Structure 1
Amino acid sequence: MLHTDFYRSRLPHIQPLGGTFFVTTRLYGSVPQIEKQRLSEDFLLRKQQIIARRDHTPDELDRLTRQYFAAYETILEKSNFGPKWLAVNAIAEQIARALHYFDAKRYELIAYCLMSNHVHVVFTLNDEAVSLQQVMHSLKSFTASKCNELLDRTGAFWEHESYDRLVRDRAELHRIVQYVLHNPVKAGLCQCWQDWKWTYIKPEYNDFT
């Protein structure tokens, strides 16, 4: 039976256990506070305007959420603001190892891409006793501890909230995997996604490349 876990935050989170998810998490302080506030206020205002209309559709809210994510992504890709710890090989390696460690334990890892200040990952939860929120908490708390130790620092490593999107069907999964794989190409960091050291796709999904 499909269960759903909800929690309140600035973004809507629909988290059916056993679902396939596209998750993006970013380093703490990677977006200026003034930009975070501007994006959040704009998102909430536009959301209220949509909901206020009696004829609004779920697709409109879904489109707004995707636009909100795209705005954050543009800032992350183009800004020199904030930490770039994931550009350090030892840090990226630690995070990649953690992502692979939970593969076949808590989820089926499909693809990921590590950028200098954020991570995209796609996976399917395979344990109906574990929620997406629990999985992300485990990943973020473990990697934050290990990476802070490597960096000889203390304090927040990841932003508290991650962006997560439930993948509706195989066509959407294909589009998302393509987006993840080509993220460094889009950012001008390489010409071919295969050249990026910290991009991964499970061989079973090679037909998505």
Structure 2
Amino acid sequence: MQERPNSHRLRQGRHSEKGRGYLITVVVHQRRQIFTDWQLGRLLVTEFRRAHEQKWVSSIAWVIMPDHFHWLVQLEQRSLAQLMQAIKSRSTLNINRASGTQGSFWQTGYHDRAIRDDEDLRPFARYIVANPLRAGLVEKIGDYPLWDACWL
């Protein structure tokens, strides 16, 4: 599967707001199913935690699927563009190093959805953590190793 030809345009006109919740989706280059190796997925988790601990975001829920991730965050000290640049570049370096590969790791761009102030975050978190169930990867979410939510 090829990258969408206009994925670079996803960044145009993008605005991020401190304190706002965002549902972010990022896809692995050529949709390679690299995160079937859960240890490589844990390297991405390390970057999520780093962003949370450095107070760039408040991490609400995330799941790492074999070829993409979903992450529900509330922005704190960085813009969405700064956050994604850091997550994608750091994780690329660490995953390429660990897997003995080089070059592009993530597709260009990312998808984000700003959460309105009056929207409850729980349905978004439930959607995220239920991804492995909907994909048929596990029968119980507790059996899937690459997810978390702040309420659990």
Q: Scaled by the length of structure 2, what TM-score is found? A: 0.86
**Aligned-partner SS, 1:29:** helix
By how many angstroms is 1:170 displaced?
A: 5.6
* 1:169-192 deviation per Cα after TM superposition (whole angstroms, max 9, x unaligned): 464422211110100000011122
For structure 2, the 5+ residue unaligned runs are 1-7
Structure with the bigger RCO (C-alpha within 8 Å, sep 6+) is: 2
Larger % of helix: which? 1
Count residues with an aligned counterpart: 143
**Contact 1:14–1:166 (CA under 8 A) maintained in structure 2:** no
- Report what 1:193 is aligned to: 141
Trace 1:38-117 onto structure 2 (pairs within 5 A). 83-105=32-54, 106-117=56-67
Say what the alpha-carbon RMSD is for the aligned residues.
Answer: 1.7
**Partner residue in 1 for 2:109:** 161
Q: Structure 1 segments of 4 or more deviating over 4 A?
A: none
**Sequence identity percentage:** 21
**Structure 2 counterpart of 1:18, which letter?**
G
SS in 1 for 2:30: coil
Of 130-139 and 12-21, more deviation after overlay is shown by: 12-21
**Normalised TM-score (structure 1):** 0.64
Gaps of 5+ in 1: 1-7, 31-82
Of Structure 1 and Structure 2, the greater strand share is in: 2
Offset from partner CA, 1:11-62 (integer Å, 9 cap, x none): 76342233111000010111xxxxxxxxxxxxxxxxxxxxxxxxxxxxxxxx
**C-alpha contact (below 8 Å) 2:19/2:75 kept by paired residues:** yes
